Structure 1
Amino acid sequence: MGKTAFLFAGQGAQYIGMGKELYDNFPICKQVFEEASSSLDMDLIGLIFNGTKEELNLTENTQPAIVTMSIAAYRAFNQIGITPDVVAGLSLGEYSALTASGVFSLSQVIPLVRKRGRFMQEAVPEGIGKMNAILGLAEDKVREACEEAKALGIVEPANFNCPGQIVIGGEVKAVDEAARIAKEKGAMKTLDLPVSAPFHTSMLKPAADRLKTELEHLEIGEMNIPVMSNVTADYITGSKDVKDLLYRQVMSSVLWEQIIRTMIRDGVTNFVEIGPGKTLSGFVKKIDRSLRILNVEDVASLEAAASALKTEQ
């Protein structure tokens, strides 16, 4: 029997009403939403279920909202007896993965990611930086394009999502130039992303430094489930390494494709995306179509995933 990995959604997957069905049907989910709201001393529940898209899309609101919904979905799934062999999350999702593993409590992680969102939002003034997805170009060619555009400013690979999808970020002129060069090198398409800052680049160091100060004060728990790091694409060896990896994560490339390939190498055949949307499921499918890919974001998907995995146990 193959191993099972839980993958936690990152920023960008949010939508108004996410988790409402779980909240209405599972007392454990209602409890998660209420605890998260109270840890922030704000009506997070109202924002997620009935707020405006514009308000939810503010990074400092998005991050606690996604982690709340993801942990609610995780606890409902866990309650029916499904446990993962390994967990990982894309960028912000790593905080959900660490919470599922026991490193953070819910009342710790929700205020932490709200601050992380604010720090990231404030690190680079609007209009200075941007991100662009390069589609259909090999990693070495994307790196070359960034190198050749560096004369115009900072530009770096930010996310290695899956074969043929690499996101770059940096200063506007340099990113535009790197995207132009990427097209010359054979990229099928380049696409500007609707984000407020060049996440996962060296330009986010001010945010990383502020986050480091917040992390220093936290008393964290032990990992009960193996967690993989975005920074190293390898297993986090213990709780002692968590704070440094999260500090580095803000300004380092997200090695998502490599994380999935490492899991496959280690015998994972079932991938369950936990939280809003199916973005990560799409990435996994592009890496290996033979894998079983499931998701949990509402009652129907939870029941389908539980039924699929229980037949295998």
Structure 2
Amino acid sequence: MRAFVFPGQGSQKVGMGVELAGASLAAREVFQEVDEALGQNLFAIMSEGPEDQLLLTENAQPAIMAHAIAVLRVLEKEGGIAIGDACDFVAGHSLGEYTALCAAGAFTLADTGRLLKLRGQSMQAAVPVGVGAMAALLGADIAKATALAEAAAQGEVCTVANDNDPTQVVLSGHKAAIERAIAMVKDFGIKRGVLLPVSAPFHCPLMAPAADAMAEALGRTPPRSLSVTLMANVTAAPVTDPAEISRLLVEQVTGRVRWRESALALGTAGVDQFVELGGKVVGPMISRTLADVSITSVASMADIEAFAREL
């Protein structure tokens, strides 16, 4: 069995999508449709920068989605592949869950772009710059990370945001609490804590205003039926019901991204082939979680052609 998986924030880089757009009309159409939906020339920022504009959450989220969907559309239109035939599950890391839902037909491309633009803006606005922070814990499992977060909180928010794989967990919360956590890592048998260059503390209770904004937006733009089952971030369980998906997307804003558990659940369901579309970020996390599975990254035209030949 096969799963298509999609990367989250941090996989953006200036120049993304340029090769695809130059080689494929299908890719160019994706970038143009997203630009028109957002009323901005996002593809120019993706292509040429400046980097600080691409790094803005409100630009990075729709850009990463657009790049991954462009890869998928080239596969579908030029490789003659239908997603419902090519995979059994879809999953995405944080914003990548919206990409997965777009791929499975729950949202149109234009609506996905608009939802992610709003999601990025709402997340940025939820907490004043400098109040929150995130840190990656290297050499930490979920038990050690949870204990550290509880000890460092001291009345502030400090919680697990991303359980990525058996060796990497991300904390999110008030900046002072995150800094305390980094200073305490050795006491909990954790190799290292690294402050992440993010503009807001994602996936923690401080994001409640953004969750409210997304609940309102999803009420106006509800998901439709899926052609492929989604493995959801916050439950690490399969879901196909559109109403349940809408609820989980709201919960996802403040909730934990249970990526390690999602990989384990997919493995238990029988998935032994994972294909990351549009990046090479979440695939390596899966390879550190599951043994004896194949991991393929499909991001360039050469990758697309090679993958299409395998199917």
TM-score class normalised by the smaller sequence: over 0.9
| Equivalent residue for 1:76, pick from 74, 83, 86 | 74
Q: Which residue of 1 aligns with 2:235?
A: 232
Contact 2:225-2:240 within 8 A present in 1 as well: no
Contact 1:130-1:171 within 8 A present in 2 as well: yes
| Equivalent residue for 1:209, pick from 208, 212, 217 | 212
TM-score for the superposition, normalised by structure 2: 0.95
**Secondary structure of the corresponding residue to residue 278 of structure 1:** coil
Distance in 2 of aligned mates of 1:23 and 1:129:
37
- Identity fraction in percent: 37
TM-score for the superposition, normalised by structure 1: 0.95
Distance in 2 of aligned mates of 1:218 and 1:274:
25
Contact 2:263-2:290 within 8 A present in 1 as well: no
Q: CA deviation at 1:152?
A: 4.7
**Secondary structure of the corresponding residue to residue 52 of structure 2:** helix
Q: Which runs of 4+ in 1 moved over 4 A?
A: none
Segments of 5+ residues of structure 2 without an aligned counterpart are none
Contact 1:145-1:179 within 8 A present in 2 as well: no
| Equivalent residue for 1:300, pick from 278, 299, 302 | 302
Distance in 1 of aligned mates of 2:110 and 2:203:
26
Contact 1:201-1:251 within 8 A present in 2 as well: yes
Which amino acid is 2:65 matched to? V
Q: CA deviation at 1:116?
A: 0.5
Contact 1:137-1:182 within 8 A present in 2 as well: no
Matching of residue 255 in structure 1 with residue 258 in structure 2 = yes
Contact 1:152-1:173 within 8 A present in 2 as well: no
Q: CA deviation at 1:130?
A: 0.4
**Secondary structure of the corresponding residue to residue 68 of structure 2:** helix
**How many aligned positions are there?**
306
Which amino acid is 1:37 matched to? D
Q: CA deviation at 1:23?
A: 1.3
**What pairs with 1:1-313 in structure 2 (closer than 5 Å)?**
3-79=1-77, 80-82=79-81, 83-275=86-278, 277-307=279-309, 309-310=310-311
Segments of 5+ residues of structure 1 without an aligned counterpart are none
Q: Structure 1 stretch 132-141 or stretch 64-73: which is displaced more?
A: 132-141
Distance in 2 of aligned mates of 1:62 and 1:259:
24
Contact 2:223-2:245 within 8 A present in 1 as well: no
Q: 1:69-90: CA deviations, max 9, x gaps?
A: 1111111123314421110000
